[in-house]
Structure 1
Amino acid sequence: MKAAAVWTGRSTGSKSTAYRLDGRIITGVAEIVPFSLSVGTHKLTVQATDVAGHTASVESTFQVTIDIAHLDQLVDMGKDHGDFLTNGTATSLQAQIASLQKAKTPLERDIRLKALKITINVQSGLTMKQSFANIAILAGVNKATVSRVINGNRNISEKTRKKVEDIMKQYNYVPNSIARGLATKKTFTVGFCFDYTNKQAYANPYFYKVLQGIEEVVYNHDHMFLMMSDHDGKNGRSTFERVVVERRVDGVIIPNTLLNERNYELLTKHDMPFVVSGENTLKQADAPWVDIDNVQAGRILTEHLIDLGCRNIMIYAGGSAAKRDKFLGDRLNGYHEAMRQHHLEPQVIEHADFLKKLYDSPRSGSEAQRPDALICCTHEQLFEILDWENGNPLLAELALATFDSFPMSKYLKYPVHFVEIDLEMMGKQAAQMLFSRMNKESGVPPFISIPTQIGK
């Protein structure tokens, strides 16, 4: 929709002519976007200059009014002239005009007229100034209601929420996250702490499974996700410490390997909501955590092998690693529970070489010590055993088992029994618990232990 203001005065013999509308320079034919001129009196000035440098000017005034009763006819004319890209645009304007024409009070008329103005500006190719005010006008609600919808306030009807969200989507409205944060005193960001110097963590595909679960929940809550390192920087402070002290995030997830006394005191001192990924190993019992039930996993895997007829079941746990890593110690405890319950003698080895010697030695009394099943607590340990496949009878005589499946298992000559461990669910549960704590919900459990099952 466009209106044209044309100056038709003659300036014979002039060298140049200048046109001004309300003091603003315009071209000879000025295309004026609807509603760009306010209602009331306006002045058009024409100044001509001849070849000798003499100037003369003429001023004309005109009135701008809004003929609400005939606006629909103007849209019809625009349709006939092909001024609309689609019929839907014209239909939308006609609906707003009909609503405007039915206004019963001056206030109601002004509100609907402002909404029509915004729509026309957008349809004319102008960018709508993104603000609560414009969205509120278009949705027919107050600015506080728009703010509640954007901030996820639950004390609002679903009908109103959908109406506001539809308007925001229609006009490509994107809330200003900085202004939103200032109003709510939130960053709408969740952090994950790790140590970037630990290259082994990056090589572990299960690290990314946990992250995948965390990110899904974070993004579903319309938050950003920030990864930070606990490694000290040049100034002696880690990124993690700076983020917590400066409150760059609303909450943080930290692996149990990095939850030391210093980090615990840092989080509690600054009242930063946090959840531990992995069972809490600190003496402080109030550190919330989410982990796989590794004791249960070790127990059911051992019982599965017993159900298969195995009795001489050995577990490859690794001495120092089992003491250092809580999850390995728990798997070992689950193994001991099952063996004890079935009155079987546990056999724990710390190095693969011990097992290899049993098979390399001549058949003698050592043959009785050979296991009929072997549980490897990690995939790295399993791969050590699989590396013996060429020229060694181990895999032909032994039932192998481990924790969690891996993509290459289907290509192995001999089957590997395993426990399914849902690390993605672990990430999801950790993130969901964090949001519950960030929102200060009641009844949040102090920890979540995720059960496992035998894989198929």
Structure 2
Amino acid sequence: MAVTIIDVAKKAGVSPSTVSRVITGSSRISTETTERIRAIMNELGYVPNSIAKSLVSKTTNSIGLVLPKPAEELFLNHFFSELIRGILTQCSRSEIDLMMTTGATEREEVDAVSRLVRGRKVDGILLLYSRKEDPTIEFLQKQDFPFVLVGRSNYETPIYTVDTDNRQAAYDATRHLIDQGHQRIGFVSGPPNLVISEDRSKGYMQALESAGISLRPEWIVEGDFLQESGYRAMSLIMSQPERPTAFVVIDDMVAFGVLRGLTELGFKVPQDISLVGFNNIAVTELTSPPLTSIDIGIYELGYTASQLLHKIVKGEPTPQNRLIIPHRLVVRESSLFRAG
């Protein structure tokens, strides 16, 4: 038979309401009594009923995670799996449950988040990417519901965000290629509605401008964060009469597609074309050649975002609205051929 709160109260010599207050963390119970009751709970193997606890404390001890759409991208791009690993680690250490949701369209996503919020199923929401106009963010703001965004917000109202300085990171990636002697540098970008695409595009352009290199719009291709996007980009750019000698690629997975496309077209990396990607996912060392990449601290992004949301939900002070995770350039063979 399962141990009940009455069993704990009887062994501790207190009322069931006192045990209930210990479970919900009430400050009305002394430290000595709290420790004694918790010891008895462990001894008897009593596990508090989470539903009953949430009714008393008005919290669920759960947070919601909005997955990218289409959800298939989650399983095709190592960025999201590493990001979620950081989130899960922090949630586990803080004994927080994680509920995931998504939607095939923006409307479906808002409806899914609405069910979590209005049904009081979670205490806060984590958003994994930043759109320029995001109906989910607008919904959460109207509801005055706690949330943290992984990425930079372009909204005027203050939003809690955890991000990389993507503009500076793209500048550093492009500058590295310029320092290798490249003057003809292309850029394989992401979806134009995402803030990250805009920031990295601006960093790339800024580096060209600071080096006195003219921008070539025909060498910039927008796409998705998938291998196929990089593969298609090469058929568009490398068929032009004048071609780049190097590329900055918005994501490592896209860079893998670029590498495959170049190989099929007969170009060698880095002898003919140099490449720099982003995210420094584990398999970048295993490509042929190994890929130079900007390490943006994906795990730290997820862990810190979850930690920040936990503090907000608990009402703890937070140092600032926007937290920046440092990045670093990891140089490998794909960019180590100096242009002549």
TM-score range, shorter chain: 0.7 to 0.9
The yes-or-no answer on 1:335 pairing with 2:204 is yes
Query: What is the TM-score when the length of structure 1 is the normalising length?
Result: 0.60
CA distance in 2, matches of 1:232, 1:326: 18
Q: Across the two proteins, how many residue pairs are aligned to each other? A: 316
Match of 2:164 among 284, 292, 296: 292
1:257–1:393 distance in 2 versus 1, CA, 3 Å: closer
- Residue aligning to 1:349: 220
Other-structure match for 1:433:
308
* Rounded Cα–Cα distance in structure 1 between residues aligned with 2:57 and 2:206: 51
Q: 1:174 Cα shift?
A: 0.2
The 8 Å contact of residues 437 and 444 in structure 1, kept in 2 or not, is answered as no
> Once the two structures are superposed, what CA deviation does each residue of 1:251-284 show, in whole Å capped at 9, x if it has no partner?
1112445785643443234332111222223x34
Q: Which residue of 2 aligns with 1:410?
A: 285
Structure whose CA Rg is larger: 1
- Counterpart in the other structure of 1:455: 330
Secondary structure at the counterpart of residue 285 of structure 2: helix
CA contact (8 A) 1:311 1:344 kept: no
CA change 1:231–1:393 in 2 (3 A) is closer
Partner of 1:250: 123
Match of 1:389, SS?
A: helix
The structure richer in strand per residue is 1
The corresponding residue for 1:199 is: 72
Q: Is the 8 A contact 1:288 1:447 kept in 2?
A: yes
8 A contact 1:313–1:346 mirrored in 2: no
Q: 1:405 to 1:262 in 2, by over 3 A?
A: closer
Q: CA deviation at 1:249?
A: 1.3
Q: Name stretches of at least 5 consecutive residues in structure 1 with no aligned partner.
A: 1-126
RMSD value over aligned CA atoms?
3.5
Equivalent in the alignment of 1:213: 86
Of 54, 63, 80, which aligns to 1:181? 54
Q: Tell me which amino acid in the other structure corresponds to 2:159.
A: A
Deviation at 1:314, TM superposition (A): 0.8
Distance in 2 between residues matched to 1:187 and 1:213, nearest whole Å:
21
In 2, distance between residues paired with 1:162 and 1:268? 40
Q: 1:384 aligns with which of 253, 257, 261?
A: 257
Matched, 1:130 2:4: yes
Letter in 1 for 2:303: K
Letter of the structure 2 residue corresponding to residue 240 of structure 1: V
Matched-pair identity in %: 24
Q: Deviations over 1:172-227 (max 9, x none)?
A: 11011122111111122211123665433442222222222222222322222111
d(CA) in 1 for partners of 2:168, 2:198? 12
Which aligned pairs between 1:74-153 and structure 2 lie closer than 5 A?
A: 127=1, 129-131=3-5, 134-136=7-9, 138=11, 146-147=19-20, 149-152=22-25
Deviations 1:359-389 (A, max 9, x none): xx6xxxx5xx652x32222235423332232
CA distance in 2, matches of 1:166, 1:215: 28
Instruction: Give the Cα–Cα distance (whole angstroms) in 2 for the partners of residues 329 and 261 of structure 1.
Output: 15
Q: 1:325 aligns with which of 175, 180, 194?
A: 194
Q: Which residue of 1 aligns with 2:337?
A: none
